[in-house]
Amino acid sequence: MWISNALIAVLRFLIGVTARWEGPPDLTRQRIYYANHTSHMDTLAIIAALPREARLNVKPVAAADYWGKNRFLRYISQQGLNAVLIERNPAPGQNVLEPIFDVVRAGHSIIIFPEGTRSNQALPAAFKSGIFRLAETFPDVDLVPIYLENLHRSMPKGKHVPLPIICTIRIGNPIPRMAGEDKAAFLERARDAIVRLST
Amino acid sequence: MTLDAKFLWFFAAIAGLLALASIIGWLLAKRATSESAVATVENLNQRVNAWWGMVIIFFISYQLGGNATVVLFSFISLFALREFITLTPTTLGDHNALFSAFFILIPLQYILIGTHWYSMFTLLIPVYAFLLLPAIAVLSQDTEAFLERTAKIQWGVMICIYCISHAPALLLLDLEGFKGQNALLLFYLVFVVQMSDVLQYVFGKLFGKHKVAPLVSPSKTVEGLLGGGLSATLIGGAMFWMTPFNFWQSLLMSAVIVVMGFLGGLVMSAIKRSLSAKDWGTMIKGHGGMLDRMDSICFAAPIFFHMTRYFFSV
């Protein structure tokens, strides 16, 4: 816990990380937070924006090729951020999402970045299908869109030091679930929910 | 009066004023009924509470000595520049220049004050940073709106680092018969500027009818400006005992501080509007951001610094 508290303190000092909620959240329900992805600070910024009681049960999904790269990053991501590491380039026949399904089944809330990689734009790129499969498998879990504002300016892809620019975490209300919606329509609608929060 | 006695009188007077403001705010809160009155009084009380916080921070920094005051202002510059850059549309190509501004220029400028290197303190930003910041930015080869981006960063650095740093730079002046008491001069500057802001707000709320510049700043009124500005000038004149000035000199200095502070508020308000924002930030409850509180200081500090240096240094 102290690792994440220390990291959150540094982040607050540098980039503020103010949370803006679209409506009062129902934190008793299991939630899948999904956000646009522009910097290595994104996961921590979302955790910092959540109320303390909501942080305990949240597991962010992180790429094993970065966050498991060395012992230091592995320690930070697993002990500090409580992350689930996934392989972005799995061996044939292996299901990338299996570790995520396991933690959702176990009742945890999760944080995912449906673009699958960082972008250097203010608005998210097209989503990969992972979030659709999660939504399909767990119809009773709330899907919560988050727009991360200014993080692409503070620490853009390729830069290693964050600039002190005030970043705001805009957390939306859960998006409505529609039975039988096809993949393309769902991914578009989920992405639009983030774009809407950006204005 | 000894330095310590002056200092204690000064802070005791401020604590008294704030206590009075807190009591008035409390009485108003009990009487307010209409929705807009409740909102105004709530904002007023938030402002008074923030003032308590700011005065306590200044008090502690004084007790810790001159270097602590310099460090305090370096953080004020950092938070001010952070607000300025947040509202300014910079791009990836500015990252290294901004990195230098935040993490090299701010510490360097305040180290120069701490080490009393006057000439370098006045040159670092207008000469070296002016030339080197665009030179750093140009290496990323992004020419889109290059002049606009460079100019905006330049402005942010001048206002938030260079201008603000002239307030603690008062500590490095060598004044006639005032040795070791320069901290009082810093308090004098901050006090007159903030008194002027507060009194303009109070006079404006009580008697304000005619707006000075409605398109720039809807809250500034002629009545507020004259009433608040004149009374702040008089109060400043009466504070001559904590400065190297006599009463008339102090009155004139206060008048300059008040006028520059007013112009600073106006210019910074226009910049804020051109960046389409209402407040610079949300750091100081009731006031907005750090720059909303520092805008008058930005303009008053350098002029006050140079006038004092020109007329009163040894």
B chain contacts of residue A163, beta-carbon cutoff 8 Å:
85, 95, 98-99, 102
pLDDT band at A197 (very low <50, low <70, confident <90, very high): very high
Tokens of A49: 């924006």
Q: For chain B, which residues make up each domain, given as ranges? A: 1-64, 66-165, 175-314
* B282–A156 CB contact, under 8 Å: no
Three-class SS state of B95: helix
DSSP percent split of chain A into helix, strand, coil, nearest 5: 40, 15, 45
CATH code of the domain made up of A2-197: 3.40.1130.10
Q: Which of A16-25, B70-79, B287-296 has the highest average model confidence (pLDDT)?
A: B70-79
pLDDT band at A112 (very low <50, low <70, confident <90, very high): very high
pLDDT for position B288? 85
Tell whether the model's pLDDT for residue B300 goes beyond 90: yes
Tell whether the model's pLDDT for residue B80 goes beyond 90: yes
Tokens of B241: 């005992």
Contact between residue A54 and residue A109 where contact means Cβ atoms under 8 Å apart: yes
Which ranges of chain B would DSSP assign to H, the alpha helix? 3-31, 35-64, 66-87, 95-100, 106-114, 118-123, 130-138, 146-157, 164-165, 182-207, 222-238, 247-274, 290-312
pLDDT for position A90? 75
What letter does residue B103 receive in the DSSP assignment? I
pLDDT for position B121? 96
B chain contacts of residue A120, beta-carbon cutoff 8 Å:
92
Of A42-51, A68-77, B120-129, B228-237, give the lowest mean pLDDT range. A68-77
Residue of B nearest to A18 (CA): B282
Tell whether the model's pLDDT for residue A92 goes beyond 80: no
Separation in Å, CA A84 to CA A27, A76, A138, B171: 21, 12, 18, 54
Q: What CA–CA distance (Å, rounded) separates A42 from A113?
A: 9
Tell whether the model's pLDDT for residue A111 goes beyond 80: yes
Q: Which of A120, A161, A165 sits opposite B86 (nearest CB)?
A: A165
In this predicted model, which residue has the larger pLDDT, A90 or A183? A183
Long-range contacts of B307-312 (CB under 8 A, 24+ apart): B307/B253, B307/B256, B308/B170, B308/B173, B308/B175, B308/B185, B308/B244, B308/B253, B309/B173, B312/B173, B312/B175, B312/B176, B312/B178, B312/B244, B312/B245
Of A33-47, B107-121, B273-287, give the lowest mean pLDDT range. B273-287
pLDDT band at A179 (very low <50, low <70, confident <90, very high): confident
A chain contacts of residue B90, beta-carbon cutoff 8 Å:
153
pLDDT for position A56? 83
pLDDT for position A91? 76
Contact between residue B205 and residue B28 where contact means Cβ atoms under 8 Å apart: no
Å between A162 CA and nearest CA of chain B: 8
A chain contacts of residue B82, beta-carbon cutoff 8 Å:
16, 164-166
Å between B65 CA and nearest CA of chain A: 24
Tell whether the model's pLDDT for residue A20 goes beyond 80: yes
Does the reported pTM lie above 0.90?
Answer: yes
pLDDT band at B85 (very low <50, low <70, confident <90, very high): very high
Checking ipTM against 0.90, whether it exceeds it is: no
pLDDT band at B276 (very low <50, low <70, confident <90, very high): confident
pLDDT digits (tens, 9 = 90+) for B137-148: 999 999 999 999
Strand partners, A58: A109
Give me the mean pLDDT over the A154-172 stretch: 93
B chain contacts of residue A18, beta-carbon cutoff 8 Å:
282
Q: For chain A, which residues make up each domain, given as ranges? A: 2-197
* B95–A166 CB contact, under 8 Å: no
Tell whether the model's pLDDT for residue A60 goes beyond 90: yes
Transcribe B107-138 into DSSP letters. Answer: HHHHHHHHTT-HHHHHHIIIIIIHHHHHHHHH
For B51, other C-beta atoms within 10 Å of its C-beta total 21
pLDDT digits (tens, 9 = 90+) for B6-32: 888 999 999 999 999 999 999 988 888
pLDDT for position A106? 93
Tokens of B195: 């008194």
Q: What CA–CA distance (Å, rounded) separates B133 from B138?
A: 9
B chain contacts of residue A161, beta-carbon cutoff 8 Å:
99, 103
Å between B33 CA and nearest CA of chain A: 28
Q: For chain B, what is the mean pLDDT?
A: 92
* A163–B81 CB contact, under 8 Å: no
Letter string b/e over residues B137-173, b meaning 16 or more CB atoms within 10 A of that residue's CB: beeeeeeeebeebbebbbebbbbbbbbbbbbbbbbbb
Which among B95, B98, B291 is the top mutation candidate for probing chain A, defined by the most A β-carbons within 10 Å of its own β-carbon?
Answer: B95
Q: Which of B81, B95, B282 sits opposite A156 (nearest CB)?
A: B95
